[in-house]
Amino acid sequence: MEEEFKEQVVALEQIAETSPSDTDILHIRFHAASGRGDLLFKEKNYEAAKMHYLRAIAVFDGVEKSHHDTWLIVYALNRLAILERSRAHRDAAQQYWQEALSIANSTQMRDRSILYMTALQEMALEDRDFESAYGFQQAILAEKAVLDSLSEGHDMEKYYMELEKGQLESEKATQNLRFNLQRNQLRSTIVIASLAMLLAFGLFIGLRRQRQGRQQLAKQYELISKQAEQLRQLDEAKSRFFANVSHELRTPLTLIRGPLKMLLQSNDKTAQHTQLLTLAKNNTDKLLRLVEDILDLRRLETGHLQLHLQAESLQPFFALHSAQFESLAKTHQVAYHVDVDSLVGKSAFIDPEKCRQILYNLLSNAFKHTPVGGKVTIQVVADEQQLSITVNDTGTGIHPDDLPHVFDRFFQTSQPNKKAEGGTGIGLALCKEYAQLFGGIIHAKSEPGVQTQFTVVFPITLVAHQQLVSTADSVLKVPYSVIPDAVQVLPPESPQVLLVEDNLELKQYLQLIISPTYRVVAVGNGQEAWQYLQSADQLPDVIISDLMMPVMDGYELLDRLKNNDATRAIPIIMLTARAESRDKLRALRIGVDDYLTKPFDEEELLIRMENLLGNQQMRKAVQQAGVVAPSTEEDTLFQEDKEWLEQFQFWVENNLADDRLSVSQMAHEFAMSDSTLFRQVTRLTGLSPSQYLQAARMQAARLLIDDRVHRSLTQVASKVGYANVRTFSRNYKAYFGVSPSVK
C-alpha cells in the first residue's frame, strides 16, 4: 500500500513538472506536493515535510479559489498543525489550526470547524486553560446542532433542546474540571507542605551536624594548639639545652686552648710536637667557633643578639679574610679567585665578626662541595647604599627539592643518591639570621652538577677614612692551617696504607700516626681513591677510609672495592664519626673488615691494622702452602661459594652465644668432615674455622659494647659465647689492643 502511494506521488510530480504553469493541473501540483509532504512526515523528516506542505498551499496563491480549493488549503494547514504538534512546537500548531478554523468558518465548512476546534480544545486542556476549553466545547456543540438541524429538516425545537442539553453537559464538565483543579491544588498544597517539612527537618539536621562539626573542629584546634605549644616548648627546651651545653663547653675549651697556645710559644719542643699542637689548637678554635654559633642562634631566638658596628676599610678587611682560604684551595687543587677591587678606597660601618663569619661559612661550604679541578670565586661589591657578597663554586650543586630548605636550621638532605658528607646544618642558617639582622637578604641558586651561587646583600653606611679603627690585630688565626707532611723514608717492602679522608687536618694527623710504620698514600675522597687504585703499580696492603665524603662517600667506595676481583681481598677499616648501629650494619653487610668510630684511640687503630695485616699474611701463607690455589680467574668466588659463605656466616652469627660451639659442631651442621670444613672456610676467607669463629665473636662484642645496650661485660661476654669474663677481656684486648669497657 505504501509503495503504491509512493508511485502515485512520483507520477503526480512528473505530471506537474511537465506543465508547471498550466492552471488546469493546479490540483495535481497540490496533491504532488502534499503527498510528498506526507511521505516525509512519515519518515520524520519534519523540515522537508513542512516545506512541501507550504509549497502545496502556495499552489493557489494569486488564483480564484473554488470551494474544493479552500478545502485543500485547510487540509494542508491541518497537516502542518499536526506536524508542529508532533515535534512539540505547540505555538506553531495552534497558529495553523486557528488559521484553518478561520477559513472553515468563513466558508461554512462546519465539519472542518468541529475538527479544528476539537484539536484546539485538547491543547487548551493540556495547558489547563479550562476557560478556553469550555468556549471551544460550546462552539463545537453549536456547530453540531446546526449540522443536525440541517440534516433533519430544520427541527429548531430539537436544536434548542440539544443545545440546552449540551450546555448542561458542558456545565457538568466544567464542574468536573473545577473539582479536579481544586483536588490538584489540594494535592499540590499537601506536597508543598510535606516538602517544606522535609526541608525544615533537613535544615535542622544540617545545622545540628554543623554545630557538632564546629565543636569537633574547636576540639581539634584546641588539641593542635596544645601540641603546637608543646612543640614550641620542646624546641625552646632544645635550644636552651644546646645553649647551656655550649656555655659549659666554653670553659674546658678555654682551658685547652690556653695551654696549647702557651706550648706553641715554647721553644722546648720538637717539629712533630709543633705539628700536633698546631693541629690541636686549630681544631680547638673550630670547636669554639661552633659553640659561639650555637650561642648566637639562641641569642637570635631570644632577641638578645645585637650588632656591634664599627668603621672598617672594606678592601683590606675582605681581602685579608678571603686570603685565609688560599692554602686550602692549593691543597684541594681548586682554582680560587677573589675580587674585591671595587672596595678600594671605601669604608663603612659593619659588624666585623659577623661579616667574617658569613664569609667563612659560605667559603667553607663552597670548598667542601667542590671537587679537584673545580673553581671557587668570591666577589664583594659596595656602593653608597649596600654591600653584596657573592660566592660561586663549580661543585656538586643542590637538588631542586633541597634548595628552598638550605637555610633551615639543622637541615640535612633526604635525597637517596646524595653522598654522606656530614655537617651541622648551622652555618647557612646563621648566615641567613645575620643577613636579616643587618636588614638584608641571602639567596641561593644552583644548577646540579654545574655550579652553585650564594649572594648576601645588606645596607651599609659609608664613612670617612679618619673614622676607621683597624681590626687587623684582632683577626683570628687562619682557619685552615696546613701542617707540613711528616717525611719519613721507609723501605719498599714496608706495608702500604691507602688513607681516604676529606678533612685535611685529620688526614695529616693520621699520617703522623701511621707513617713511622707504614708507607702512606693519602687522597681526599672515594673517587680519588678509586682512580688511584685503577692506575697504581702496587695495590695497598690495607685501606683506611672515612664514611662521610664528597663526590664518592665511603659506602660507595667500599661497595666498589668488594665487588672487584682485584681489590676484594684488601682489608678495609672504616674510620668515621657515624656511630649509629644502622651505619655500622650497612658497612658490615657490604663487607668492611673493621669499623672504628671517632674519637678513636691511636694505639687501638694501629693494633687493628696489625691484626688485619696479620690475617692477610696468613692468607698468603696458606696460598703458598698449597691449601688455596694461586690467585687466578678460577680463584674468584663463584655464586654458589658466595651463597654457601652467606649461609655459614648467618649460622655462626646466630650461634655465637653457645660457649660449646666448636669446629666439629660446625662441620656436622654443614655435613662435612673437619678437614673438609677447614679447606672450605680457609679457601673462601683465608682464615681457619676457629680463627673465623674468634673474629666473628670479637666483631659482635665490639658492636654490643659500642651500642651500650648491656650494662656489664658479663652480659656482653655471654652474648658472644664466653662463660668466663676474664677470658673474654683478655682475648678482646689481644684482638683490638684495648680492654673492653661498657662505661
Task: For residue range 659-708, list pLDDT tens digits in order.
Answer: 888 888 888 888 888 888 888 888 777 678 888 888 888 888 887 887 66
Higher pLDDT, 446 or 482: 446
Q: Measured at the alpha carbon of residue 81, what is the angle toward residues 80 and 83, in degrees to the nearest 5?
A: 65
Can you give the pLDDT at residue 363?
Answer: 92
Whose cell is 526541608? That residue is 199
Does 156 have pLDDT greater than 60? no
Predicted structure pTM score: 0.45
DSSP element (H, E) containing 462: none
Higher pLDDT, 267 or 422: 267
Please confirm whether the linkage preceding 599 is cis (ω < 30° from 0).
Answer: yes
- Alpha-carbon distance of 106 to 70, in angstroms, equals 10
Let me know: does 70 contact 113? Beta carbons within 8 Å.
Answer: no
Instruction: Name the band, by pLDDT with cuts 50, 70 and 90, for residue 237.
Output: low
Let me know: does 575 contact 596? Beta carbons within 8 Å.
Answer: yes
- Mean pLDDT, range 333-354, rounded to an integer: 90
Q: Coil, strand or helix: which one is 438?
A: coil
Angle of helix 427-437 versus helix 352-368 axis, rounded to 10: 150
Higher pLDDT, 166 or 195: 195
Region of poorest pLDDT, from 310-314, 636-640, 703-707: 636-640
CA quadruple 38, 39, 40, 41: dihedral sign:
positive
Q: Report residue 397: phi and psi, to 5°.
A: 85, 180
Let me know: does 35 contact 1? Beta carbons within 8 Å.
Answer: no
Can you give the pLDDT at residue 388?
Answer: 94
For the chain, the C-alpha Rg in angstroms (whole number) is 52
**Taking Cα atoms as reference points, which of 300, 406, 290, 457 lies closest to residue 357?**
290
Instruction: Name the band, by pLDDT with cuts 50, 70 and 90, for residue 631.
Output: very low
Can you give the pLDDT at residue 628?
Answer: 46
Whose cell is 655464586? That residue is 639
Does 249 have pLDDT greater than 80? no
- The strand ranges marked E within 265-316 are 310-313
Instruction: Name the band, by pLDDT with cuts 50, 70 and 90, for residue 542.
Output: very high
Strand partners, 447: 451
Does 482 have pLDDT greater than 50? no
**Taking Cα atoms as reference points, which of 189, 298, 303 lies closest to residue 237?**
298
Can you give the pLDDT at residue 635?
Answer: 45
Dump the DSSP string for 309-370.
-EEEEHHHHHHHHHHTTHHHHHHTT-EEEEE-GGGTT-EEEE-HHHHHHHHHHHHHHHHHT-
Can you give the pLDDT at residue 483?
Answer: 43
pLDDT tens across 272-307, in order? 777 777 777 777 777 777 777 766 766 666 666 778
Whose cell is 680492654? That residue is 739
- Alpha-carbon distance of 493 to 412, in angstroms, equals 45
- Mean pLDDT, range 128-150, rounded to an integer: 81
- Mean pLDDT, range 512-523, rounded to an integer: 88
- Alpha-carbon distance of 576 to 706, in angstroms, equals 13
- Alpha-carbon distance of 471 to 457, in angstroms, equals 22
Amino acid of residue 148 = D
Does 245 have pLDDT greater than 80? no
Can you give the pLDDT at residue 475?
Answer: 40
Cα distances (angstroms) measured from residue 536 to each of 529, 539, 570, 715 = 10, 6, 14, 46
How many residues appear in the chain? 743
Instruction: Name the band, by pLDDT with cuts 50, 70 and 90, for residue 178.
Output: low
Let me know: does 389 contact 358? Beta carbons within 8 Å.
Answer: yes
Per cent of the chain over pLDDT 90 is 8
Higher pLDDT, 339 or 2: 339
Does 377 have pLDDT greater than 70? yes
Identity of the highest mean pLDDT range in 10-24, 213-227, 251-265: 213-227
Can you give the pLDDT at residue 147?
Answer: 76
Can you give the pLDDT at residue 699?
Answer: 82
Whose cell is 650564594? That residue is 454
Let me know: does 108 contact 75? Beta carbons within 8 Å.
Answer: no
Instruction: Name the band, by pLDDT with cuts 50, 70 and 90, for residue 462.
Output: confident
Name residues whose C-beta falls within 8 Å of residue 672's C-beta, 6 or more positions apart in sequence. 680
Please provide the average confidence, as pLDDT, over all residues in the chain: 78
- Alpha-carbon distance of 74 to 100, in angstroms, equals 5
Cell triple for 179 = 473539582
Distance of CA 83 to the CA centre of its chain: 65
Q: Report residue 311: phi and psi, to 5°.
A: -70, 135
